[in-house]
Structure formats: C-alpha cells, structure tokens
C-alpha cells in the first residue's frame, strides 16, 4: 500500500503550533539573557577572583559539560521534589537551561577575557579611566566582540536544545508537535513541519545576531 503524505491536519492546528513556537522563543530568549550574564559573572570570577573562585567555576563547568542536559532537567524536575523543592515544568526547564548555557558561555567568555593583553589595561589606567570604565570598555567589550561568533552559535544550539524540555511536558514547539501527532496520527508530517519551523528559527536567529553585531560592535 502506498502512503500519501497529508499535511492538512497539521496546518489546521496552526494556532496550537504558534503557542508552542512562542513558548520556545520565550524560553530561548530568557535562557540566553540569564545564561549570558551567568557566564560573564563566572568567567570574571574565574579570571580575576583568585584560586578559590577559579576552582569553584572549574567544578561547575566540568559537571555541566560532562553530563547530558536531559539528565540535568530530570534531576531538577523529578529529583528536587524529594528534597522538598517542587518546581513548575517551565521553571525547572528555565533553571536547567540557564545553568547549562551558563557553563558553556563561561568557557567561551573566559577565553575572550584571557586574550585581552595586559598592556591594554595598563594603557587604560594611564589614560585615567576608572576601574569600571576599564572593565567595561577595555575588558568586556573587546572580549565579547572576539568571542561573538562562538557565543552566537552556542546560543543557536541552545535554542535547538530547548526541544528537550518537551520531555517534562513543557508545552514548547516540540511538545505541541507530539500532541498534534497523537491526535492526528500524521507523525511523519508533524515532525517534518516542526523540523522546518526550528530550521527557520535557527536561520532567523543567525540573521538577528548578525544585525546585533553590526549595531553594537561594528563601529
């Protein structure tokens, strides 16, 4: 028997897909903002904070980078209630993703910080800049600029990885896809459409990151 692909049932659920898309976007953007600042803080603590901080950050990075995101999410969502901490699905997902992205961002931003020559900082001091000005204009800004390509591709990978939160029933794009699949039994079609939407999202993000780069750094 020949199988005919039918997309009508999938597209009929477009409002539902849109809800999922918006949740995926919200989760991704929130994770990027919090994860970036967590990464920046940890990278600074590790680079300028002495050996205690350096070790602490190293333990954090290695723990996160050597265990799967899915297990980290399960631990927060299923594991924490037995310690008396009960989190909503979205909150558990957001916290797990921020901790995860924070570790990868730390590693990237730290490499950027270490690439700033000491003479640059001394030059800033001799110009009479305040420590905050030196930190902002001479250390952080060029470090992020140098690491921008690595950071933005990490962010896009993160957006794709948010699909994993469907496994704790957060109604993101992927989870909406599985619900439509169980209603319509158009499994192959559903996942083709879902994959297409993620792809479009990834290309769109790349475009947005290029615009941000031009606005912020290329002057």
Partner 1 sequence: MIREFGTGDIVYLVFAARWTLALTALAFTGGACVGLILAVLRISSLAPLRIMASLYIQIVQGTPLLVWLFLFYFGLSIAGLPVNAWTAAAFAYSIYGGAFLGEIWRGALIAVAPTQWEAGASLGLTYLQQMRYIIMPQAVRIATPPTIGFMVQLIKNTSLAATIGFVELTREGQLTSASTYKPFAVYITVACIYFLICFPLTQWSRRLEDRFNVAR
Sites of contact with partner 1 (CB under 8 A): 3, 62-63, 65-72, 74-75, 78-83, 156, 160-161, 163-164, 166-167, 174, 178, 181, 187-188, 191-192, 194-195, 198-199, 202-203
Cβ at position 5, least distance to partner 1 in Å: 8
Cβ at position 123, least distance to partner 1 in Å: 27
Cβ at position 128, least distance to partner 1 in Å: 37
Give the whole-angstrom CA distance, residue 82 versus residue 58: 28
Cβ at position 177, least distance to partner 1 in Å: 8
Identify the sign of the CA torsion 25, 27, 28, 30.
Answer: positive
Closer Cβ to partner 1, 134 or 174, answer by number: 174
Closer Cβ to partner 1, 147 or 201, answer by number: 201
Axis crossing angle, helix 51-65 with helix 89-114, rounded to the nearest 10 = 130
Give the whole-angstrom CA distance, residue 137 versus residue 148: 16
In the chain, % helix, strand, coil (3-state, to 5) comes to: 85, 0, 15
Cβ at position 124, least distance to partner 1 in Å: 28
Closer Cβ to partner 1, 46 or 138, answer by number: 46
Distant-in-sequence contacts of 69-76, Cβ < 8 A, 24+ apart: 69/96, 69/97, 69/100, 69/161, 69/164, 70/164, 70/167, 72/96, 72/99, 72/100, 73/97, 73/164, 73/165, 73/167, 73/168, 74/167, 74/168
Closer Cβ to partner 1, 78 or 137, answer by number: 78
Closer Cβ to partner 1, 53 or 191, answer by number: 191
Cβ at position 75, least distance to partner 1 in Å: 4
Closer Cβ to partner 1, 203 or 217, answer by number: 203
Residue 176: count other Cβ atoms within 10 Å of its Cβ: 22
Q: Are 173 and 194 in contact (CB under 8 A)?
A: yes
């Amino acid at each position: 028997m020949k199988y005919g692909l039918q997309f009508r049932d999938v597209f009929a659920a477009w409002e539902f897909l849109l809800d999922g898309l918006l949740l995926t976007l919200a989760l991704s953007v929130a994770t990027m903002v919090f994860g970036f600042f967590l990464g920046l803080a940890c990278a600074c603590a590790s680079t300028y904070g002495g050996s205690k901080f350096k070790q602490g950050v190293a333990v954090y990075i290695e723990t996160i980078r050597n265990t799967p995101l899915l297990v980290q999410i399960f631990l927060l969502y299923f594991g924490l209630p037995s310690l008396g901490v009960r989190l909503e699905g979205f909150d558990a997902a957001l916290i797990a993703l921020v901790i995860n992205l924070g570790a990868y961002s730390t590693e990237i931003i730290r490499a950027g910080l270490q690439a700033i020559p000491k003479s640059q900082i001394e030059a800033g001091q001799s110009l009479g800049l305040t420590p905050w000005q030196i930190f902002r204009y001479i250390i952080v800004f060029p470090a992020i600029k140098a690491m921008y390509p690595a950071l933005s591709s990490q962010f896009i990978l993160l957006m794709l990885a948010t699909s994993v939160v469907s496994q704790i029933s957060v109604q993101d794009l992927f989870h909406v896809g599985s619900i439509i699949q169980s209603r319509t039994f158009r499994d192959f079609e559903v996942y083709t459409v879902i994959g297409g939407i993620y792809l479009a999202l990834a290309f769109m993000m790349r475009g947005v990151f290029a615009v941000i780069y031009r606005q912020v750094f290329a002057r």
